Chains A and B, each alone.
Chain A
Amino acid sequence: MSGKENRKMRGIIARNKLADGIFAIVGLLSMLVGLVVLLALLVQLGIDGLQRLSWEFFFSFPSRKPAEAGILSAWVGTALVMLVTALAAIPLGVASGVYLEEYARKNWIADLIEVNVTNLAGVPSIVYGLLALGLFVYKLNLGESVLTAGLTLALLILPVVIVTTREAVRAIPSSIREAAYAVGASKWQVVWDHVLPYSTGSIITGVIIGLARAIGETAPIITIGALTFIAFLPDSPFKSEFPYISFSWLQAPFTVMPIQMFNWVSRPEPAFQLNAAAAGIVLTVMTLAMNGIAIYLRYRFRRGIKW
């Protein structure tokens, strides 16, 4: 190779290496953009909202005076709606996941359900709100209630629960199932006594991520007509006399955290926007904590299991 070609070659290599180095920096920076924005968002919320966070803020009803307003009815509403969502989505989602993974034969019905679950995950959340408005509120006459909201959000997070259940169940080696069959267990006994207990950890992770999403969902709940100003609590689910449990809270009108925050954000007075920031802190801490727990659990289960 002549000296000239040699130099040309070196030039090309140097240029490629430079491009490589530049991209490494660009990549690092663009990754940082997301993280910096997350940080800016948290700092902005903190600066605006921390001054309003106090014991009274948690235990006051919303009010026309910004300094006296609180989120009592909002977080109680969120808790009740999440209870309904979890009770509906977990059994339904886990059962579907188990069916698709353990029972379904490879036929067009299984394919249809599978394609359908993938597509449902991409449907905009507001469309679930329209479904709930048309179906739950008016066709089934459930009204604008805790029950309607809980069921709506359950449908919304169903794909998440189904997909994580399937992944969890698929990760269990078939030797476990074969061992159970070998001692005479029926299919359901295999699923109930072995497959489900071993995959519980991963399923819980998925459920937490789903519920974290449901807590922050605003649009579908607004669509079904949740009220933004509620200065009373639904009936307590517990009673002092027999049968100790009451279900009248299911039909109660309600508000939830994100709606309360939206209501405050859309008011022109700056004082209300401080309230919105404070509600935002509570909401963000709740969802980030749930996501954090889920990520931690996923990490731990991935490490802990050695088949």
Chain B
Amino acid sequence: MRAVFSTLILATLLSASPTFAAGASGGAPIAVRLSTKGNDIAFDQTAIQVPFGKRVAIKFINEAEKGSEILHNVAILKPGSLDEVIKELQANSYDIEKLRSHKSVLAMTKALPPGADGTVEFSPAEPGFYPYICLMAGHADMLGMKGTLNVKK
């Protein structure tokens, strides 16, 4: 009886451990919805807060009118790297796909036409302020299309 009880406790612990690990670094991601402010070259939110220890999934929707032809994307950057990424973007004449492999770009969508959406997922390595920007020509650097994801412990 004692042996059976011990086995049951061990089984419970073993099954609980992966659940905890998944909750800490993976599992169901925190879902965040982000969009443009209609036809404006701006995000609808410039500050978002999520808890540390979870994967984050940001669904970004380009809500510009279909006839507007305005393309957008969203890129999540490492904390403190905003200026460096913008300089690189300008140096590459706003070729956004060249930024996909940049060491400070954690995740990014492709360029999305009006009405389209894309989802980016990433696991923040540490708490902090993660900039998110639109990489389309002039949107972040000249028109201020950027925000901050606060990953809080």
A in complex with B: no
Residues of B within 8 A of A (CB): none
Q: A residues bordering B, Cβ < 8 Å?
A: none
